[in-house]
Structure 1
Amino acid sequence: MVDNATQHKTTQYDDKGFPDAGEPPKTGRWKLIGPGIVVAVTGVGAGDLIATLIAGSRFGYALLWAAVIGCIVKIALAEGSARYHLATGSTMLDGWRSLGKWTSWYFGIYIMIWGFVYGATAMSATALPLAALFPFLPLWAWAMISGLVCAAFVAFNNYEVFETVMKVFIAIMFTIVVGIAILVVPDVGNALTGLIPTIPEGSAIYTLGLIGGVGGTITMASYGYWVNAKGWRTPSWMGVMRLDNRVAYIMTGIFVIAMLIVGAELLYTAQIALSTGDRGLLDLDAVLQERFGPFVAKAFLVGFFATTISSILGVWHGVSLLFADFVRTVRGETSGSRQGLEKTPAFKFYLFWLTIPPMTLLWFGRPFTLVIIYGALGAFFMPFLAVTLIWLLNSARVPKEWRNGWLSNGLLGAAALLFVVLCVNEVISLISG
């Protein structure tokens, strides 16, 4: 007989070749942490870095509390998604489908437009640090290489390899960003006062964005799929999943706080403004070079690259799983057929969709109308996720012992309200131009 410690060193497989970790071990559960790391590192991209930096550069430490609240909200959303998978043995797409065909219409339109525009955005963001580190190729070339390499990696590797690589990237980005935050010598007294909720004049939208934006959007719905890919299939893994989720978002919280410290200490105190968009991170590179020299500046670019490339890998894998499951549910196939989604033509098609068609946007820029539609649909996804999780997790679809309690309902309700406000603001911004 194989003991628990040996049994869970690697993923086990059933007689059909699908991952099945059996029963969780009684000790050493922290060694199994992985899917939460994947969803958390996927959710922190270049846009999140720049948003946090700008918040720190404009308001100092005043919005530190918002970063903490944001991580708590994301813990609730990711936990709800994975709990539905483990408690019911079905997937989020099965759950949404049970709420009515309107969910499939919405999700199908959303995932196609989102993937097309996100592919170009993510590849461009990853190209920025590569072009700065290795200027012998133009930005568009690095963008295309990034997308193609990530698509090939996801297509030809299993979940275990994917998770290991994602852990390497989070270790790089975490070490570098936290190291730079320590290097700038944070004002601990001011940082502690930043944990007291305040909303400085002109900071309302930044506050909401910091709470709602950092840590993932659509990829949060992928968490349950990654939990299943790890071989965690039954409610007995609920405790391990919750540990995994909390550790991952605590690390995300530390990472986000470190970026806010960098913004507060390097930019706010010196009144340095950043460029809009992802290029603002290159402005920070110049500031770091002037303050600490070329080694620290280059290290930051490496951390910048680890952040963006991990987002590409996570989206290429996780959202392709969502799309493959979407196709399965539309065809009316049974929930048991969700195993092996990575091998389906739908998974491979969406990898293609994320990588090749968006390359046209690298050449011609992003068409205005498409950006408008993308922004409008994107603003509606997080309210959709929060509201449907409340609906599903309080229904008879979930065994009674795994339905929402007052804390889960409170956090998911607060998340839904927050995202509705952000959604309304985004739509008003789009209408007003």
Structure 2
Amino acid sequence: MTDTTEESTAGSVGPRKPSWRYIGPGIVVAATGVGAGDLVATLIAGSKFGYTLMWAAVIGCVVKISLAEAAGRWHLATGRTLFDGWRSLGRWTTVYFAFYVVVWGFVYGATAMSSSALPIVALFPGGPGLKTWAVLTGLVGLAFVWFNRYAVFEKVMTVLIGVMFVVVVYVAIRVAPDIGASFAGLAPVLPDGSLLYTLGLIGGVGGTITMAAYGYWVNAKGWTDTRWMKVMRLDNRVAYITTGIFVVAMLIVGAELLHASEIALTKGDRGLIDLGTVLEDRYGAVTAKLFLVGFFATSFSSLIGVWHGVSLMFADFVEQLRRERAGSAAGGEGADGAAAAEVASGAKERSAAFRGYLLWLTFPPISLLFLDQPFGLVVAYGVLGAFFMPFLALTLLWLLNSSRTPAEWRNGIVSNVMLAGAGLLFVVLCVQQVRDLPW
């Protein structure tokens, strides 16, 4: 890569050197990837094992940096989108993605709306109920993504992650962390019964389909060739260092506030409501309400992040199939470059497929909010969700070691070790997730 100011394929100008002013897609992926359920899982790990698993949070941050860097590198080095890369591996990837994105999106839509509504209900207990607020948050998310393009979307996500960051770090400082114990937690130790919590910390927080969307957000920012590679890598590191700070802060809260007092939280998003109650008892109503605002920012940023990022992926999926059916050169360089350029120009954000998937994420899942036990779909969601991360890690390993990637940008030893390790980790987590399902 040369540090010049030549025009990129998207019509933008490549930077002379990486700069903080270019940061954007990383902020989006960090805000989207960290959901309320992730924070609860981290809190529970801290409440059970104190600071002992701090090292696992650091390793998890490094694993995510490697995965997202690989996704971004594929987009920039090849000029092809990630779905086009998957399609080149065989039709099985198309079948898998089609099934996954439809079922996952249906169930995730209801989950995201419910999660965003929980803190609103807690903040305004005399107002409408959970289902009403859930529907309203979904409709607001739909309208926001429908009528805005990436530039506005990125700015709003930056505000939301700013709120998340301030609140989570404030709460961690408020509970007066034991600095010595937290540094001691960087030494790799596995207490009895901690293996699954450790794997979950390494693989879970910030690890969703939105990691695959990172390359699409890179293109949407206008970065479409290798002149943006250094900027992308800086942007990606900022994203997952931010995520790492979230994880460490919530481990501190779990260790200091819950571990010593032996307070148990409800699993899932509702555990943050429990924490809000504990914070109110210990530190007063202002701290509790501030925390609930941060809870909302965490949940709603994940909602609109998925509404935007996964809809971009779905639009690319549909466009690739359309080109294939039309008999165009979808597998050649012209079609590949067009796919990335369409994302960069915002064409996919205006497409019928993008908006159709937005509607799919919003309206059909509303029906799940009124079902007491959508058991079968929850099982399907758990299985598909468990299988996606190993699919992402192992297909990136395949793509970035093949002739599909220019030799200069193929994996080195470090990248191969990290992606192979991530793939193995996610396979283990996948097996465990499937074993834990109530068959």
1:307 has 2:298 as partner: yes
Query: Any conservation in 2 of the 1:22–1:232 contact (CA below 8 Å)?
Result: no
State the aligned residue count: 419
How far apart, CA to CA, are the structure 2 residues paired with 1:56 and 1:408?
Answer: 30
Partner of 1:358, secondary structure, is: helix
Residues 231-284 of structure 1 show CA distances to partners (whole Å, capped at 9, x for unaligned) of 111101100000000011111101110011001100001111111221111111
2:196 aligns to what? 205
Residues 11-37 of structure 1 show CA distances to partners (whole Å, capped at 9, x for unaligned) of x999xxxx542211336x111101011
How far apart, CA to CA, are the structure 1 residues paired with 2:31 and 2:23?
Answer: 13
Counterparts of residues 12-51 of structure 1 (less than 5 Å): 20-26=11-17, 29-51=19-41
Counterparts of residues 355-394 of structure 1 (less than 5 Å): 355-394=362-401
Give the TM-score taking structure 2 as reference length.
0.93
How far apart, CA to CA, are the structure 1 residues paired with 2:391 and 2:137?
Answer: 31
Residues 100-135 of structure 1 show CA distances to partners (whole Å, capped at 9, x for unaligned) of 000000010000000000000010000000011122
How far apart, CA to CA, are the structure 2 residues paired with 1:422 and 1:376?
Answer: 11
- CA shift for structure 1 position 182: 0.7
- CA shift for structure 1 position 366: 4.5
Give the TM-score taking structure 1 as reference length.
0.94
Residues 286-321 of structure 1 show CA distances to partners (whole Å, capped at 9, x for unaligned) of 110111100000000000000000000100000000
1:262 aligns to what? 253
Instruction: Give the letter aligned to residue 381 of structure 1.
Output: F
Pick aligned residue for 1:241 from 214, 229, 232: 232
How far apart, CA to CA, are the structure 2 residues paired with 1:52 and 1:289?
Answer: 20
Pick aligned residue for 1:402 from 402, 409, 415: 409
Query: Any conservation in 1 of the 2:17–2:231 contact (CA below 8 Å)?
Result: no
1:172 aligns to what? 163
Residues 338-375 of structure 1 show CA distances to partners (whole Å, capped at 9, x for unaligned) of 50111111100100010000000000135212221221
RMSD: 1.7
1:129 has 2:119 as partner: yes
Partner of 2:96, secondary structure, is: helix
How far apart, CA to CA, are the structure 2 residues paired with 1:317 and 1:152?
Answer: 11
Residues 167-191 of structure 1 show CA distances to partners (whole Å, capped at 9, x for unaligned) of 0001101011101101111001111
Structure 2: tracts of 5 or more residues without a match:
325-329
Pick aligned residue for 1:150 from 121, 141, 147: 141
How far apart, CA to CA, are the structure 2 residues paired with 1:367 and 1:82?
Answer: 36
Identify the range of structure 1 (357-366 vs 330-339) with the bigger mean alpha-carbon deviation: 330-339
Query: Any conservation in 2 of the 1:42–1:216 contact (CA below 8 Å)?
Result: no
1:319 aligns to what? 310
Q: Aligned pair in 2 of structure 1 residues 321, 363: CA closer, same or farther (>3 Å)? A: same
How far apart, CA to CA, are the structure 2 residues paired with 1:366 and 1:337?
Answer: 40
1:289 has 2:259 as partner: no
Query: Any conservation in 2 of the 1:394–1:404 contact (CA below 8 Å)?
Result: yes
Query: Any conservation in 2 of the 1:274–1:284 contact (CA below 8 Å)?
Result: yes
Instruction: Give the letter aligned to residue 189 of structure 1.
Output: G
How far apart, CA to CA, are the structure 1 residues paired with 2:408 and 2:372?
Answer: 51
